[in-house]
Amino acid sequence: MGYQRQEPVIPPQRDLDDRETLVSEHEYKEKTCQSAALFNVVNSIIGSGIIDFSLVLLIKGGALSGTDTYQSLVNKTFGFPGYLLLSVLQFLYPFIAMISYNIIAGDTLSKVFQRIPGVDPENVFIGRHFIIGLSTVTFTLPLSLYRNIAKLGKVSLISTGLTTLILGIVMARAISLGPHIPKTEDAWVFAKPNAIQAVGVMSFAFICHHNSFLVYSSLEEPTVAKWSRLIHMSIVISVFICIFFATCGYLTFTGFTQGDLFENYCRNDDLVTFGRFCYGVTVILTYPMECFVTREVIANVFFGGNLSSVFHIVVTVMVITVATLVSLLIDCLGIVLELNGVLCATPLIFIIPSACYLKLSEEPRTHSDKIMSCVMLPIGAVVMVFGFVMAITNPQDCTHGQEMFYCFPDNFSLTNTSESHVQQTTQLSTLNISIFQ
């Protein structure tokens, strides 16, 4: 079925902060409390956004236009061409995020299972391909089959708790491991020529615009004011976690830092092995939120916003199957994050919300919201163009699956209190040398 243009129902004229978002009965019969929505936003921001102003601006645009989805907002503002452009971006971003989460889960959990005593490192059942397939069938697919995002509130709470544990491990290793890692040349030079590539990666990490309306609609009595308070709380938590992750990771490895931070740690580190397990579980629990968005985009474009029970299952299975197959073919995370950030996340964060608000708002030009929108829009355009060029011409190095040089006893040594642990380290390093030579 092709796209069907639907005129949105305009809500009663109220003050902007009190105007309620319309909620589709078949999609959002169950409402979640603010705490559950809080963890949904935090989970999305950490596994995927930290743009405070843009998030509030997006919901304000929805209130001004009387719409309750990102797609209907752009359709009301820029018509069918804008609707199609947004639909493509809004599908690609979470879809590529699903691919990246599969890559992370496969890489991370395979190293966890390799630490099980007596397990052959070359065993196919602990390989990344098998783990990606197993986690998809047993966890991500069943969770993604939910019809209501409010049901993921508890899952997001677990994911946020595990993220806190991971942060503690990264901080501990920054103290114990960091001093032993040689620092790269010009490690503390700020904003090198390829800094704009980092903006692309941060755009990937700092976005939850694609599912903001889903979370907003899951609130009890959703209003712009309530959403604004929720976003501020989520931002504080997320900023704290993201800054500490970035700082501790770079302090430990400086220029050797990989796109996937856990690729930097040695496989024989038991504390990090536990962190890898938590990390793998976290991304698996974040995955369904991205699937919700891809499915909603398909439902809106091809099914007029309504999916029967049969098509709900069929679409979900098809999207997850394709994402899984692609993730099995790609093993370098950095380029995936960069391209998704500059091509999809940047316009979703900076360009489209600003453009919609500037066209819809009747506030004077000197209003703070309009000034910020005028600043954000060109910044987004610059990041999108130059970030894409830099990502193609200057790609990140990828050492996927290889132990870093400082993990080998001949090149690097850590103080171990256990003689048996030293012997185990030497045996594992010898094995790694034989594998990668």
Chain segment 408-419, per-residue pLDDT in tens: 866 544 433 333
Would the pLDDT of 367 be above 60?
A: yes
pTM listed for this prediction: 0.72
Q: What residues contact 17, with CB distance under 8 A and at least 6 apart? A: 223, 224, 225
Q: Is-contact 48 290, C-beta < 8 A?
A: yes
pLDDT at 419: 36
pLDDT at 99: 93
Q: Report the mean per-residue pLDDT for the chain.
A: 78
Domains of the chain: 34-401 (1.20.1740.10), 405-437 (no CATH)
User: Mean pLDDT throughout 259-273?
Assistant: 88
Q: Which of 128, 169, 389, 398 shows the shortest CA–CA distance to 278? A: 169
Q: First-to-last CA distance in the chain?
A: 54
Would the pLDDT of 245 be above 80?
A: yes
Distances (CA, A) of 49 to 85, 206, 281, 318, 367: 21, 3, 19, 26, 25
Would the pLDDT of 23 be above 60?
A: no
Give the range among 60-69, 203-212, 309-318 with minimum mean pLDDT.
Answer: 203-212
Chain segment 368-383, per-residue pLDDT in tens: 889 888 988 988 888 8
pLDDT at 18: 46
The residue type found at 302 is F
Q: What does the block give as tokens for 136? A: 């998809």
pLDDT at 206: 60
Chain segment 217-227, per-residue pLDDT in tens: 777 788 878 88
Q: Which of 112, 431, 421, 437 shows the shortest CA–CA distance to 267? A: 112
pLDDT at 318: 96
User: Mean pLDDT throughout 177-193?
Assistant: 82
Q: What residues contact 47, with CB distance under 8 A and at least 6 apart? A: 97, 101, 159, 282, 283, 286, 289
Most distant CA pair in the chain, distance: 74
| CA 91/CA 8 separation, integer angstroms | 22
Neighbours of 214 (CB within 10 A): 25
Q: What does the block give as tokens for 43? A: 């989970």
Q: What residues contact 280, with CB distance under 8 A and at least 6 apart? A: 104, 105, 108, 109, 112, 135
Q: Is-contact 339 171, C-beta < 8 A?
A: no
| CA 155/CA 150 separation, integer angstroms | 10
Secondary structure of residue 51 in the 3-state scheme: coil
Listing DSSP states for 60-105 in one string gives HHHHHHT-SSHHHHHHHHHHHHHHHHHHHHHHHHHHHHHHHHHHHH
Secondary structure of residue 307 in the 3-state scheme: coil
User: Mean pLDDT throughout 55-77?
Assistant: 88
Distances (CA, A) of 166 to 70, 106, 241, 276: 33, 17, 10, 8
The residue type found at 429 is S
Who has greater pLDDT, 382 or 26? 382
| CA 144/CA 349 separation, integer angstroms | 24
Secondary structure of residue 32 in the 3-state scheme: strand
Give the range among 66-70, 82-86, 109-113, 256-260 with minimum mean pLDDT.
Answer: 256-260
